[in-house]
Amino acid sequence: MGVLDRWRRIGPRPRKVLVVSCHPCDHGLLVAARDRVLEALATSHVEMRHRDLYAEGFDPTLSADEHATHLEPGVGPALRSHADDLTWCDTVVFVYPTWWSGQPAMLKGWFDRVWASGVAWELPDGADRLRPGLRNVRRIVAVTTHGSNKLTNAAQGEGGKRTLFRSVRAMCHPLTRCHWWAFYGVDVRSDDDRRAWLDTIGERTRSMFDR
Amino acid sequence: MTHVLVVSCHPRPDSFTAHLVSRATSGLERAGHDVEHLDLYAIDFTTAMSRDEREAYHGDEPVIDPQVAEHIEAVRRAEAIVFVYPTWWAGVPAKLKGWFERVLVPGVGFRFDERSGKIRPNLTHIRRLVGISTYGSPRWYVRLVNDVGRRTITRTVRVACGWRTRTEWHGLYAIDSSDDAARAAFADRVEAAMEALS
């Protein structure tokens, strides 16, 4: 047994990474970025789970019944494996295209339905703010592409970044670290820029998890 | 007289959001406006953009769903749009987010300028954007931490409108701990504001 294997056996436990990806197509820059992330994780010392919301046909619509019982802890049977992934991981990697300055409806619906009472938060009697419930999550990574340039995105209010790094992060561990790996101006940038960005995504993923 | 499009999004017909829609509508109608209402849950509007829609997005025919085509006509008729929804995860519900993505496609919400290659606003006929929303959190928390739904409408959609488009916002905060009097006062305020919309 080599030194490295020994260290892995007695050293820190592998990180538990949940990758949540969201794109309707199976080609394009964002899909390539997703594959780079998955490849890098496959060769790193991590345990990984991957949810591809479009591929599994996730239903993003919060129903009337779910709304009526949204203060009761727990989720329905269809969402239990999603909730289980969320309470298992210590790192969440979101891979999605930015549309109308935020997460696609498919991913927004995943938050609306899976980040439910008893999973992501609890609301004690009389309180007017949620108590965080995902102290197991200590790192949030966002990999996203923007059609607009960075300046336009700033004028549009950077909704997607705020959702992940403020509202979502507030339900996680207080020391959760956030990483924003974004590509702006998809429609006008050159192929060289795209290739360079994809390489960066792979390198960053490897250097973050392979230690 | 103005043609006003009301877009609302709540899964339950007995919700406070539904009550706000009816109060806003009666305010608008009393002021003599033409009101057209899209209740996204009631008409079972498809939430997520499909693969076919995404493939067609940058083509000549980005609209596939006939329901989306009807909504595009409604947007083109409107001079003001009023959004009524509950804020979830600091933003609009997924179904309303999907409405922006599927209805405000190239040629409707924005267009590509051939000469400069840039994206140009295409909702320049919209004179007013109004948001009416309920929040679980208190106002100071929403304003301090995040209000992505408000930003999506008053900034992202606003950028797709003309220079002179004005926005206004009405929020009921900490709704879970609010009493009936506070809700009634808020509904009155919404109705009065919609009657005064010009």
Does A154 touch chain B if contact means CB atoms closer than 8 Å?
A: no
Q: Between A61, A104, A170, which is nearest B145 by CB?
A: A170
3-state secondary structure of A185: coil
Tokens 């017909």 correspond to B13
- Alpha helices, DSSP H only, in A47-97? 64-68, 80-88
Non-local (6+) Cβ contacts of A180 within 8 A are A142, A144, A161, A165
Is the separation of the CB atoms in A104 and B48 below 8 Å?
yes
CB contact, 8 Å: B56 with chain A? no
The closest CB to that of A67, out of B11, B104, B177, belongs to B11
Q: What is the rounded distance in angstroms from the CA atom of residue A167 to the CA atom of residue A151?
A: 23
Q: B117 is in which domain, residue-wise?
A: 3-195
Task: Confirm if A101 and B152 have CB atoms less than 8 A apart.
Answer: yes
Cα–Cα distance measured from residue A33 to residue A197, given in angstroms and rounded to the nearest whole number: 8
Q: In CATH, what class is A19-209?
A: alpha beta
Model pLDDT for residues A14-68, shown as the tens digit of each residue: 899 999 999 999 999 999 999 999 999 999 989 999 999 999 999 999 999 999 9
Extents of the domains making up chain A: 19-209
Asked if the Cβ–Cβ distance from A168 to B53 is below 8 Å, we say no
Mean pLDDT value across residues B169-188: 94
Q: Which of residues 74-103 of A touch B (CB under 8 A)?
A: 99-103
CATH of the domain at B43: 3.40.50.360
How do residues B16-61 score in pLDDT, each as one tens digit? 999 999 999 999 999 999 999 999 999 999 999 999 999 999 888 9
| Residue A38 CB-half CA count within 13 A | 14
**Cβ-based burial of A94 (10 A; exposed 0-12, middle 13-18, buried ≥19):** buried
Helix (H) / strand (E) element for A148: namely none
The total of structural domains in chain B comes to 1
* Contact assignment for B11 to A62 by CB distance below 8 Å: yes
Would you call B107 an interface residue with chain A, using a CB distance cutoff of 8 Å?
Answer: no
Mean pLDDT per block of 10 residues along chain A (211 residues) reads: 67 87 95 97 94 97 95 93 96 97 97 96 83 95 94 90 95 96 92 96 92 59
Cα–Cα dist A94/A70, whole Å:
24
**C-alpha to C-alpha distance for A181 and A196, rounded to whole angstroms:** 13
